[in-house]
Amino acid sequence: MVSTRTAPGISDEPVEDSTATRPLSKEELRAIDAYWRASNYLSVGQIYLLDNPLLKEPLKREHIKPRLLGHWGTSPGLNMLYAHLNRVIKRDDLNMIYVIGPGHGGPSLVAHAYMEGTYSEVYPNISQDAEGMKRLFKQFSFPGGIPSHVAPETPGSIHEGGELGYALSHAYGAAFDNPDLIVACIVGDGEAETGPLATGWHGNKFLNPARDGCVLPILHLNGYKIANPCFLARIPRDELQKFFEGMGYAPYFVEGRDPAAVHQQLAGVLDAVVAEIKRIWTDARTNGKVMRPNWPMIVLRTPKGWTCPEEIDGKKCEDYWRSHQVPMGDMDNPSHIRILEDWMKSYRPEEFFDGNGRLKPELAALAPVGRRRMSDNPHANGGLLLRDLKMPDFRDYAVAVPSPGATTAESARVMGAFLRDVMRLNLEAKNFRLFSPDENNSNRWQDVLEVTNRCYMAEIYPEDDHLAPDGRVMEVLSEHQCQGWLEGYLLTGRHGFFSCYEAFIHIIDSMFNQHAKWLKVCNEIAWRRPIASLNYFLSSHVWRQDHNGFSHQDPGFIDHVVNKKADVIRVYLPPDANTLLSVTDHCLRSRNYINVVVAGKQPAPQWLTMDEAIKHCSEGLGIWEWASNDKGSEPDVVMACCGDVPTLETLAAVELIRDHLPDLKVRVINVVNLMKLQPSEEHPHGLSNRDFDALFTKDKPIIFAFHGYPWLIHRLTYRRTNHKNLHVRGYKEEGTTTTPFDMVVLNDLDRFHLVEDVIDRLPQLGARAAYFKQAIHEKLIEHRQHIQKYGDDLPAISGWKWGLKGAAGKPRGTSTEEDNI
Amino acid sequence: MVSTRTAPGISDEPVEDSTATRPLSKEELRAIDAYWRASNYLSVGQIYLLDNPLLKEPLKREHIKPRLLGHWGTSPGLNMLYAHLNRVIKRDDLNMIYVIGPGHGGPSLVAHAYMEGTYSEVYPNISQDAEGMKRLFKQFSFPGGIPSHVAPETPGSIHEGGELGYALSHAYGAAFDNPDLIVACIVGDGEAETGPLATGWHGNKFLNPARDGCVLPILHLNGYKIANPCFLARIPRDELQKFFEGMGYAPYFVEGRDPAAVHQQLAGVLDAVVAEIKRIWTDARTNGKVMRPNWPMIVLRTPKGWTCPEEIDGKKCEDYWRSHQVPMGDMDNPSHIRILEDWMKSYRPEEFFDGNGRLKPELAALAPVGRRRMSDNPHANGGLLLRDLKMPDFRDYAVAVPSPGATTAESARVMGAFLRDVMRLNLEAKNFRLFSPDENNSNRWQDVLEVTNRCYMAEIYPEDDHLAPDGRVMEVLSEHQCQGWLEGYLLTGRHGFFSCYEAFIHIIDSMFNQHAKWLKVCNEIAWRRPIASLNYFLSSHVWRQDHNGFSHQDPGFIDHVVNKKADVIRVYLPPDANTLLSVTDHCLRSRNYINVVVAGKQPAPQWLTMDEAIKHCSEGLGIWEWASNDKGSEPDVVMACCGDVPTLETLAAVELIRDHLPDLKVRVINVVNLMKLQPSEEHPHGLSNRDFDALFTKDKPIIFAFHGYPWLIHRLTYRRTNHKNLHVRGYKEEGTTTTPFDMVVLNDLDRFHLVEDVIDRLPQLGARAAYFKQAIHEKLIEHRQHIQKYGDDLPAISGWKWGLKGAAGKPRGTSTEEDNI
Ligand SMILES: Cc1ncc(C[n+]2csc(CCOP(=O)(O)OP(=O)(O)O)c2C)c(N)n1
Ligand SMILES: Cc1ncc(C[n+]2csc(CCOP(=O)(O)OP(=O)(O)O)c2C)c(N)n1
Ligand SMILES: [Mg+2]
Ligand SMILES: [Mg+2]
């Protein structure tokens, strides 16, 4: 029934000759093993104990937590690696951080931070003595204590445990532009099955050994995940080897179940690997060989749950999935208490702790000191290293707008010119990168390539377009990689911007979630210093995916974003280029937020001068006086808009209304900062009810043209006085490959439907309304007939300009041909 | 500056000896090449032409579309493959479908469906003559026509173009349980950079050659994506080879730019590959060798945009990214018209079309006939093959509920027992599978393993737990794979259920989007037959991720889901096991929906007998009379709840209120079908306003305890009469590792806060309120003190039972230790 191939079980034969030598002296071996046992002891203690941390008295039920929460299985392997990394850090004064993919192994990282003293420095209550150890144990996974997973609370971490798959992307992001940093990155063999991790390996095609640091991936091949074996542990060794060689790595294998043997192997491999990393760096930097090397990586094949009881109640535990979480429950069973006690004593705590629970000095001396401790490396608290960007004056990039609507520009492209100069000014500081899934130019940031290149470490051909090992535009066709790299880059104290098609940003919904949660928690941790905001530029948005069609149309990322805590998220929909410039500047200066900016890339009318734009953006929303005619009186209707295309349609509707119903008082409000709509108690940017009522009136109809799903506006405003008169148009999931104007028509967001919405809500129009409505309907029929015949919008539509009173200007091109330029 | 490795440019030397023979006779070569040229001609025609399809007159501006939308670059390669797959299908009577990763190559699939006649059968207007060809050209990417990408409208497709990355997962899903089906799956070299695709290759560890069909992956190594080279095209050949060998495939390389040479190579490779597939099948089926074979795969390295002009306006186009979309725009430029005409004529249309645009009979004869045509294969219109599941009577799995709250059960586990028997009854039909990212048992479906196993084709050890090549539980640690496999399985006419932790289902937000869009469009296409619904079971939900903590807490998938079209989505939150059974039964019988079911797995009180549950589920929501005391009068307050934990808290609150304020009239409403809350105009399940008002009153306070984000309830109900009195509690993004009850307390969703909410909204309570509130506050303080000391909930909380009037029962365990059983 079963494959005839043989995946080798774990053996203790040293693998290949990599460890033919035994690098550790007897004394070193004894010490490092004691260090490892200490961390194992502390890991088990965190999971189980409430009291009696040193097991000085016989273990009793009341010393044990009533609810057992935590993950043991991965911890011994993580502990082993940590101890050995310490050895080479200390010996070679390495600058290293530790990214743990299986971040459910929270106890491990906490144990090491505690052993090397950082933990007590950061949390003085958790002192390095018996009392502190008791608190350390109790707080773990305990109400009012710390989470079970690696979390922002954990010193030394930039990578939260929980959702698996992003370890390598975070690690590469951290290594970029940190030329002497080694990011040791543990990949769970289960985690390795996820999509994001599977492509994460390819970060090596973008890591420049002259400029960047190094990622040292360590596959933690402990064979199991929650309840299943991992397939990488069940394929033949040569297949696994080819797998890594095929991804451009030089794999080193360490394998065994006898700790002494594994210590020797691992030490030998780490010596080899560190030497190799140094050789690669030197080659690239001194000898000028900037080529993609075969970076080393390690496969560590040891038993899951290593050193816990082999069997519990007759059931296999060590080297099996059963050791994944808490290997043994039901601690009301006295025999379980004995098993736990024996298990913990098997580490021989008396050999590593003094009588008061302090790590013996000769062992404590094994850890690096100060900032070299992985738990205290400043790269893992990036805010410490963060420097402001040098910023050009965004006003210098202003589009001239002699009168509203007079000029046409591509907002995204104007933003690109600004970003080009941000890039230029910070080239030397090496702390700014742009990220995009092969859409940098499609999203119109191509001007950036005037001052830098796209980063590439695979083969480059002469005909290639702005591709170089030292580029700062990161293009890979993986939204996951873009997001993960950017997070890693920001978390280690640098700056960036992610440009993406609006619809496909949903690919990283869950990564966004985790980053937003990270930021929320960091806001509550004093020692975590603020980092640069994570900035999204979403273009090629729902309204201008007329060429790619339905699969590319979805404005729902904003809906997803606003579910997260108000104090970490910001959403901007600038209506034109100058507002986009102002918002971009703001985003690049902000800290600890996630900023979402949505704006188009196609030629579109420009509304505000730079001065007006700045004011409008600082207010976040406001009346556009030049488009309104209600000054000095109450409006009959409020026409609100948010997003560039809805703004265009609203203004075209307003003009129609003013032409046909000149006595109607119309107030036009544009919203650029979406969070302004929320009550001030819900979001720091929220308008007070008084201000909201003043703007939107207490009783007049509001026709709101929105970029996204209409119900989002309702959700943000349902508590407002005039909510009952609010009528929202937006995307209602109707789309296909068609013309730009037809996209808005299909969703009733076009000028004609907006006019009709106004008419329907103003009974006072009486008989005049009927004629006007009929004219409107005829326009829509004309539109449909025209596009079905010519495949393009009516010139009167695509050439419409504010203030020309229907005498259309030169049609703005609706072409999308530039999309892959 | 550049890597010193050499990725070979495309050469015409046959690769290795795989094609040392020249399998095609001169005549065969001529014919297949003509067939290919015809499809290229039709692809270009779709992108450019409005008229003059056969180029009988000189090409003029007015024959060309005003807006050019579509993707050329990938099309010639797709066309080449299609023609050659036809050859082996026809020769060997193969059962094959074609999954196109780079589904932006819509013109290609349409061209072939047209050439083999399916297109005209399905869309008679697009006839196989000059007039039909004109329509074929015009409709493409044209208003009122068809999308630019492969879409539901495209015959033969189960895989929409658009969001890249899911081709292999879909392909494997289609191949499962289709023992004679070959799924040819084109993977774009850009697409191959995505995470989901990167793990998609590993589908081969789950494909059983005895039971399942075969996936034939074809990496379309055309070197470029939108604006960048692809890294797989820029690594050395041996690295690429190892990459595929390391993933367990036997790669075959085809490479060249001279069509004749490539035809011969490709034919030779396909002969070899088909023979190999048959050998593998035979080995497994006849010789009983059920092992994981080295399935063949093909690397096709040919120029992007192959056969378009090499340069246009002096810029490299063929074999470059510039050919990705429309290689040449600005058709007002007369020289461009000439270039287009020459380009199209270079295919020599007179050799393959007769005077009236019909494919010459000797070429048409190259295509397979009837159902063997890939465009007409019933597996690509799975509804044709769909058979109902044999269903056990779900009533037989009922939990006995002598009185509300008297029994405790794990809802998910009860569901698992029912699914076990669904599985059992359909084992023979081989049309039902379960999918989970290593969470099948954690989500309590382990009973299913009594009748089947987990599917595994990698090495199996004796100690493994229910792992076998013929298992029907698909466990891989990739939500993307689970989703993609399930979609592929459903789209080819089978049934399934996906169980996932609630928070991490966001990983497939965007895949959900695309499937929902697919279904929406299918509802408008008569020839697409309904398929089984995509069913999600979300457990280990936000309220019971107290052990894993904040990173595992997010109930927002529902918010995401309800953005999609009402006629394809359904959301259920059954409050107990019997309602969950009823809902599960319903989901498995439904068609063309996406059903989201959210329910817990921990021991919890059971409320309804099976009869009551059935009634409750058919209504979707209703008053729980036994918990209410307002019968015969107007209630003072409505206590509504949706979700199992909110229901528990609401009932506990109701009991407190009835104890302390016995004269207060409380109405308890439970909602199981979330869509009932929407207005009937918005969702087919929506309650009429009249019914809503009758239930929720027009003016009484409503305290609504909701499983998810509270604003979702507002969004669904903002138009209801009594919305102003609606007060919703739900998850507001507060959580960590703590106790279950503390999770609800942190979010103000607990019984005490709910009572306080009631008190605050009933001014008539007057002075009595103050005492009651104080008592409530003391309870909360007591709770906090207790958990911080003991780490577990107060027995009075965890043991609370309806009807015991505060005399708590035996505490329900809050243990999570079973999570990896
Ligand atoms: C994306 C995602 N899906 C599912 C889970 C649930 N989960 C938690 S741990 C785990 C197994 C991890 O196995 P592995 O990566 O091998 O870690 P280790 O064996 O070192 O514990 C799973 C599936 C998760 N955390 N993230
Ligand atoms: C997930 C995702 N991100 C981005 C895009 C935008 N996009 C459309 S086509 C394309 C390039 C595809 O390249 P490749 O897979 O090599 O296809 P081919 O060269 O055959 O056209 C990109 C990035 C997309 N469709 N999907
Ligand atoms: Mg593992
Ligand atoms: Mg390509």
Cβ separation A193–B316 shorter than 8 A = no
Which residues, in sequence order, are bridge partners of residue B184?
Answer: B98, B216
CA B7 – CA A458 distance, rounded (Å): 9
**What is the full DSSP assignment across B411-442?**
HHHHHHHHHHHHHHHTTTTT-EEEEESS-TTT
Going by alpha carbons, the residue nearest to atom 9 of ligand 1 is A226
Report how far residue A141's alpha carbon sits from residue B778's, in angstroms, rounded to the nearest whole number.
25
Instruction: For residue B681, list chain A residues with Cβ-Cβ distance below 8 A.
Output: none
Q: Is A319 in the pocket of ligand 1 (CB under 6 A)?
A: no
What's the average model confidence in pLDDT over A149-159?
97
> Distance from the CA of A161 to the center of ligand 1, in angstroms?
9
Rounded Cα–Cα distance for residues A298 and A9 (Å): 18
pLDDT of residue A811: 75
Mean pLDDT to the nearest integer, B765-785: 92
Q: Other C-beta atoms within 10 Å of A659: how many?
A: 11
Contact A229 B2 (CB under 8 A): no
Residue listed under structure tokens 């196109």: B100
Q: Are strands B311-312 and B315-316 parallel, antiparallel or unpaired?
A: antiparallel
What whole-number distance in Å separates Cα of residue B166 and Cα of residue B504? 18
User: What value does the mean pLDDT of chain B take?
Assistant: 95
Rounded alpha-carbon distances, angstroms, from residue B472 to A4, B211, B309, B390, B451: 21, 11, 51, 16, 9
Q: How far is CA B640 from the centre of its chain?
A: 32
Chain B residue numbers with beta carbons less than 8 Å from the beta carbon of A228 are: 438, 454, 467, 475, 477
* Closest ligand, as measured to the CA of B442: 1
Euclidean distance between CA atoms A557 and A512, whole angstroms: 10
pLDDT of B7 reads: 45
The whole-number average pLDDT for the span B535-562 is 94
- Cβ pair B140, B185 in contact under 8 A: no
The CB of A161 under 6 Å from ligand 1? The reply is no
Contact A509 B513 (CB under 8 A): no
User: Is the minimum distance from the CB of B163 to ligand 2 under 6 angstroms?
Assistant: yes
Dihedral over Cα of A798, A802, A808, A809: its sign: negative
Render pLDDT for B751-765 as a digit per residue (tens, 0 to 9). Answer: 999 999 999 999 988
Position with higher pLDDT, A8 vs B757: B757
Nearest to A516 by CA among A555, A560, A480, A474: A560
B97: left (phi over 0), alpha (psi -120 to 50) or beta: beta
State residue B807's pLDDT score: 63
pLDDT band for position A6 (cuts 50, 70, 90) = very low
At A7 the pLDDT is 45
> In the predicted model, is pLDDT for residue A4 greater than 80?
no
- Average pLDDT for residues B191-210, to the nearest whole number? 98
**How sure is the predictor about B804, in pLDDT bands with cuts at 50, 70 and 90?**
confident
Which one, of B297, B324, B380, lies nearest residue B102 by Cα? B324
Both tokens assigned to A786: 């025209």
3-state secondary structure of B493: coil
Using DSSP, state whether B216 is helix, strand or coil: strand
Distance (Å) from the alpha carbon of B702 to chain A's nearest alpha carbon:
15
Contact between A110 and A140 under an 8 Å Cβ cutoff? The reply is: yes
- Is residue A707's pLDDT more than 70? yes
Q: Which helix (H) or strand (E) holds B126?
A: none
Task: List the single residue in B with minimal CA-CA distance to A228.
Answer: B438
Q: What is the DSSP string of A27-68?
A: HHHHHHHHHHHHHHHHHHHHHHBSS-TT--SPP-GGGB-SS-
* CA distance, residue B153 to nearest chain A CA (Å): 11
pLDDT-based confidence at residue A804 (cuts at 50, 70, 90):
confident
Quick one: pLDDT band at residue A820, thresholds 50, 70, 90? Answer: low
Please report the domains of chain B, with CATH numbers, ordered by start residue: 26-378 (3.40.50.970), 394-604 (3.40.50.970), 627-799 (3.40.50.920)
CB–CB contact B459 A235 (8 Å): yes
Q: With a cut of 90, say whether residue A619 has pLDDT above it.
A: yes
What's the pLDDT score for residue B290? 83
- For chain B, what percent of residues have pLDDT higher than 70? 97
> Is B605 in contact with B650 (CB distance < 8 Å)?
no
Q: Is the pLDDT of residue A1 over 50?
A: no
Q: Closest-CA residue in chain B for A150?
A: B551
Residue found by looking up tokens 């609706």 in the block = A814
Ligand 1: atom nearest CA of B477 is: 23
Q: In which band, very low, low, confident or very high, does the pLDDT at A810 lie, cut at 50, 70 and 90?
A: confident
Interface test with B, best of A511, A519, A563 (most B CBs within 10 A): A563
β-strand partners of B670 = B622, B641
Q: Which residue of A has its CA nearest to B736?
A: A147
Q: Which two tokens stand for residue B590?
A: 């439904």
pLDDT-based confidence at residue A9 (cuts at 50, 70, 90): low
Q: Is A230 in the pocket of ligand 1 (CB under 6 A)?
A: yes
* Chain A environment of B507 (Cβ under 8 Å): 163, 165, 509-510
* Between residues B269 and A812, the one the model is more confident about: B269
Burial letters A676-703, b for 16+ CB under 10 A, else e: bbbbeeebebbbeeeebeebbbeebbbb
Kindly tell me if the per-residue pLDDT of A691 is higher than 50.
yes
The ipTM assigned to this model is 0.97
Which band of pLDDT confidence, cut at 50, 70 and 90, is reported for residue B602?
very high
The number of the ligand nearest the C-alpha atom of B107 reads 2
Band (B18; pLDDT cuts 50, 70, 90): very low
Whether A193 sits inside 8 A of B244 (CB atoms) is: no
The arithmetic mean of pLDDT across residues B29-51, rounded, is 98
Taking the CA atoms of residue B519, residue B523, residue B529 and residue B534 in that order, the dihedral angle to the nearest 10 degrees is 30
DSSP per-residue string spanning A132-178: HHHHHHHHBTSTTSB-SS--TTSTT-SS-SSS-S-HHHHHHHHHTT-
**Lowest-confidence range among B9-13, B278-282, B678-682?**
B9-13
Res A363 pLDDT > 80 = yes
Distance B219 CA to ligand 4 centre (A): 9
Alpha-carbon distance values, A255 to A157, A262, A263 (Å): 27, 7, 10
Mean pLDDT of chain A: 95
Report the candidate in A551, A560, A547 with the shortest Cα–Cα distance to residue A512: A560
pLDDT at B423: 98
- Regarding the beta carbon of A382 and ligand 1, being less than 6 Å apart is answered no
User: Looking at A237-383, which runs of residues are DSSP E strands?
Assistant: 249-255, 295-301, 311-312, 315-316
Task: Identify the bridge partners of residue B183 per DSSP, sorted by sequence position.
Answer: B97, B215
Q: How far is the CA of B222 from the centre of ligand 4 (A)?
A: 5
User: Is ligand 1 within 6 A of the CB of residue A196?
Assistant: no
pLDDT tens for A282-325 read 999 998 778 999 999 999 999 999 999 999 999 999 999 999 99
User: pLDDT tens, B134-180?
Assistant: 999 999 999 999 999 999 999 999 999 999 999 999 999 999 999 99
Average pLDDT over residues B491-514: 98
Nearest-neighbour CA in chain A from B352: distance (Å): 29
Please tell me the distance from the alpha carbon of residue A514 to that of residue A510, in angstroms, as a whole number. 6
Starting from the edge strand earliest in sequence, which strands make up the sheet with B467-468, in order?
A: B467-468, B454-455, B473-475, B432-436, B495-501, B534-539, B594-598, B569-572
Shortest CA gap A353–chain B (Å): 27
Partners of residue A819 in chain B, C-beta under 8 Å = 226, 325
Give pLDDT, residue A5.
40
Contact (CB<8Å) A438/B739: no
Q: For A8, phi and psi rounded to 5 degrees?
A: -70, 135
Subunit contact A291:B556, Cβ cutoff 8 A: no
Q: Is the CB of B301 under 6 A from ligand 2?
A: no
